[in-house]
Structure 1
């Protein structure tokens, strides 16, 4: 059921994220700073997961709370497509941001509940392989949807193309809500703590967990200065069309899928933390590859950068998820997950905000620096972070 639920979820989320989110915001009249802020909003609200992790301990059933918050999130996010019909043009960006923020506030609760349920649902001995297979299947589907959405927007540019995409979004977001009704209501092993402060302190007193989480938060801050704005660079500065951009994302996703199986099998032999460390240099190299645009043709460099990033970030996301649901105490897992989400979410919020503002500041600088200068700087900082802290913190004990 968790795998089937991912099918409509993948379809509508792919059409509302990445290049499509950037394109729609550009259509609404957003600046690079506003685009960075919108991208960052989804992670900022994760701070509220700490409160949600405490409150769900009082729920008699996680299932119906999960259905409720998922439904609110899906409806409000899909409703962003109604902005051009409901508001005057000067208010389009503001209205989008309000609906988007409300949607992801609801998603904060839904994410804690889903992670808690799926952590109890999938047995630890098959967890790495299961998520490798699930992620592979859903990302294969996502690749087809990305390409199809790009073709639609190139063939029907502007309002008509986005209208078609949002019709599809409404269909599959509704289907996604329906499938959640069939999720099993698995037993909930609750924390032994009944008060907020003692429960909150549990992960804080876990030195290994906090060191790893703070390091990964700093890493994600760096990564998100540039990566979420790749679509902005390619659409606005390199003037690449949606279909070509979709092909780049499909290439990234195909190699990400291949890496899921690879990382999943390695996870049966090596710890989550050790494998997490191995993904970091790969992500750093993907950022540095953008510098080759100064001497090599555009598309081979972009394809290489996307492919390498797909391999690295596929492993990172899968292993980070396994780390928080597998390397943490079962009874305290919701608060551990919330602490991880809050700290990495805050860092991931700061990153795109900084990146969006920097792209506004360097407007008018040499074209080459605008296109790949930030990636070179961030890639260099990533290598330094790996050398100084990575090996020491993400080590096996």
Structure 2
């Protein structure tokens, strides 16, 4: 009788513990979202322009964050030797937040001619720490969130945090339009530092879940696991190629709108808010579809939507500017929202649990290299065609890239992303 009571008590406590863990993971995202929203997107581009960066330098900054993901392959091996993923996560994420936040000190501690170089140096080191932290977070969160509720949980979490992101984008844009660049970014960095400190503190409340280690103890045999998985590698390489094309133009949207179309921060914030709202609405739809269809099939469905969003920029040749940009951002929000959610589910759901860190590292490394060269080449192309007619820089590149993405999706995508 006593044994039965104890068993019932344990059954009752387990869901409570899980709900608490899921709640911590959700609330941790609040300061993280504020921090990353105010340091990324149009705010990152705007701050670089304030520091004096050109399009090629902006392209490099936007690209480097994905290139360092190649280090995750080594991290996936070393993580097997950790006694605590949680405290390693706190350390590396904390260093990322501190160093990225420290970029706000560049105008105060560097001579003007070194502002861009100083920013890039801090930024690169910050994202080296981040690539380790991201691997640890992906590994830990996949154990925190039970597989049976994973789709619903991330749908709710993403919707909640993206709603917060839209508010912060709008408020941040208002601040930068109301004040001078120097004063506006000073106020934003105050909020950024408060969010960074809060984020680090909340990470300390994460549970330190038991870790199912790889069956392999040596690096090369562990590395071979995903490399020998033909279906996984084909899908990963294809998605990397698609992301290479996408990142030729999408990361540089803020540069085009700020420098070439002369749109103010508040309007750009409204465009990004619109994109995020449609992204949030799409999470629910993609989540429900994911209950009926595989990650691979739904990933394929997102590709023509993303390509269409990029092609919409061609409408600037015969339609008013703002309606075209709002339409492009709406469609892109639907497509990229589904892509990001399904790609994450593909990494943590379609891979063997014991080998998941190396699978995630391989995916991140390959797509990271592709995403690195995208904005780097895109920024350089904008430099090369600077003397060409303005339309080639505003929407000409988008027309070429969007068409190539459609062709790639229709030819290789249909074959590679079919259900296996």
TM-score (norm 2): 0.94
**Are residue 293 (structure 1) and residue 316 (structure 2) matched?**
yes
| Aligned pair partner of 1:305 in 325, 328, 332 | 328
**Are residue 354 (structure 1) and residue 385 (structure 2) matched?**
no
Between 218-227 and 122-131, report the one with greater CA deviation. 122-131
- In structure 2, the residue matched to 1:70 is 93
| Aligned pair partner of 1:259 in 264, 270, 282 | 282
Map Cα deviations across residues 49-88 of structure 1 (whole Å, 9 max, x no partner).
0000000100111111000001100000000000000000
- Give unpaired runs (5+ residues) of structure 2: 1-23
- In structure 1, the residue matched to 2:58 is 35
CA RMSD, aligned part only?
0.5
Alignment of 1:1-397 (within 5 A): 1-397=24-420
Map Cα deviations across residues 313-334 of structure 1 (whole Å, 9 max, x no partner).
0000000000000000000000
Map Cα deviations across residues 241-300 of structure 1 (whole Å, 9 max, x no partner).
000000000000000000011101111111000000000000000000000100000000
How far apart, in 2, do the equivalents of 1:63 and 1:97 lie? 29
- Give unpaired runs (5+ residues) of structure 1: none
Aligned residues: 397
Shift of 1:123: 1.0
How far apart, in 1, do the equivalents of 2:417 and 2:317 lie? 34
Shift of 1:309: 0.2
TM-score (norm 1): 1.00
How far apart, in 2, do the equivalents of 1:318 and 1:190 lie? 25
- For the residue of structure 2 that corresponds to 1:225, the secondary structure is coil
How far apart, in 2, do the equivalents of 1:370 and 1:364 lie? 10
